[in-house]
Amino acid sequence: MPGDATLDAILPAGGRLDPELAAKVGTDVKALITIDGKTLLEHVFDAIQSSGAVRRTVLIGGPEVREAFGSRATLVLEEADSGPANMYNGLEALMAQPDPPTRVLLSTTDLAYVRGEHVRRLIEMAPEGRQIIVPAVRREDFDAAYPGTSSTFVKLKDGEFTLGGMFLIDTAAMRRMRPHLEAVFNQRKSKIGIARLIGLGFAIRFLMHSLSLADVERKIVTLLECTAAPVPGAPVELAYDIDDWEDYSYAANRKVSA
């Protein structure tokens, strides 16, 4: 579907590993971990560029990332001092291009199993008229695909879910929600700070496992002032990322390539 390309993609690749894990995997840059003969960033590039749905890409990272993969991106930026800054620098670089995008694919760069078909499926599953599309992967699907592994799941009334690492976002909405997103980022390590942001009542209902996907959707709308839609049943491959030695060992000992 090359002729149907409608999205531009933002690829922040500045994540670093702790020294112990870096010594084991041979790099301190998460996106440059090698799985099945390719770096994680290469797996993500291959998936996005073979999907037929992405027009331009902007890559944000340190010198190692830019030197290794800068030629594959439309635009290449030095990394900033925070995750949100990297995302928004990428967005503004794309918006300054001719025919700027109305929607972007924001992707993490540590996905070992993602392929072009998974990117296309996420786009096809996205409800019309929503400004943020969040892939929600069911625990039973994840466990069936990757038995014996672990991930962080949220227990809701609808089931247990984890988030995928690719998001579809309306560019105007992304610009508008920047202060709200930065507030969440700044409080991400503070349970009290997060509780204040989301509200005590919501936090209690979360702890009591009495929330539904619809409740979460409404909270995203309130918190970020954008219409949002979690997409249950999203491809499990969007949720397998490399965060620790266990994740790496599993992927390194299992054939990844199609």
Q: What pLDDT, on a 0 to 100 scale, did the predictor assign at position 131? A: 92
Which residues lie closer than 8 Å to 230 by C-beta, 6 or more apart? Answer: 134, 135, 136, 161, 213, 216, 217
Q: What pLDDT, on a 0 to 100 scale, did the predictor assign at position 204? A: 66
- Answer with the residue of higher pLDDT: 238 or 213: 238
CB 14 within 8 A of CB 62: yes
Continuous segment of H or E residues that includes residue 28: none
- Averaged over 252-257, what is the pLDDT? 72
CB 70 within 8 A of CB 76: yes
Asked whether the predicted pLDDT for residue 3 surpasses 60, the reply is no
- CA 95 to mean position of chain CA atoms: 20
d(CA 178, CA 230): 20
Asked whether the predicted pLDDT for residue 132 surpasses 70, the reply is yes
Asked whether the predicted pLDDT for residue 199 surpasses 80, the reply is no
pLDDT band at 83 (very low <50, low <70, confident <90, very high): confident
- Averaged over 16-45, what is the pLDDT? 94
CB 68 within 8 A of CB 32: yes
Q: What pLDDT, on a 0 to 100 scale, did the predictor assign at position 195? A: 55
pLDDT band at 192 (very low <50, low <70, confident <90, very high): low
CB 35 within 8 A of CB 256: yes
Q: Does domain 2-252 have CATH number 3.90.550.10?
A: yes
- Other CB atoms within a 10 A radius of the CB of residue 252 amount to 16
Alpha helices in the chain (DSSP H): 19-25, 40-50, 63-69, 83-95, 116-125, 139-145, 171-176, 178-186, 191-198, 200-207, 213-224, 245-252
pLDDT band at 201 (very low <50, low <70, confident <90, very high): confident
- Other CB atoms within a 10 A radius of the CB of residue 94 amount to 21
- Answer with the residue of higher pLDDT: 37 or 1: 37
Region of 52 (left: φ > 0; alpha: ψ -120 to 50; beta: rest) is: left
**Does the CA dihedral 251-253-257-258 come out positive or negative?**
negative
Q: Residue 178 is which amino acid?
A: R
Continuous segment of H or E residues that includes residue 230: strand 228-232
Name the residue ranges covered by the structural domains of the chain: 2-252
Asked whether the predicted pLDDT for residue 150 surpasses 50, the reply is yes
Select from 228, 231, 245 the least CA-distant residue to 122.
231
Q: What pLDDT, on a 0 to 100 scale, did the predictor assign at position 4? A: 42
Task: Check residue 127 and report its DSSP letter.
Answer: P
Asked whether the predicted pLDDT for residue 153 surpasses 70, the reply is yes
- Averaged over 36-56, what is the pLDDT? 95
Q: What pLDDT, on a 0 to 100 scale, did the predictor assign at position 236? A: 95
- Answer with the residue of higher pLDDT: 38 or 181: 38
d(CA 134, CA 40): 21
Please tell me the least confidently modeled range out of 15-19, 57-61, 122-126, 216-220.
216-220
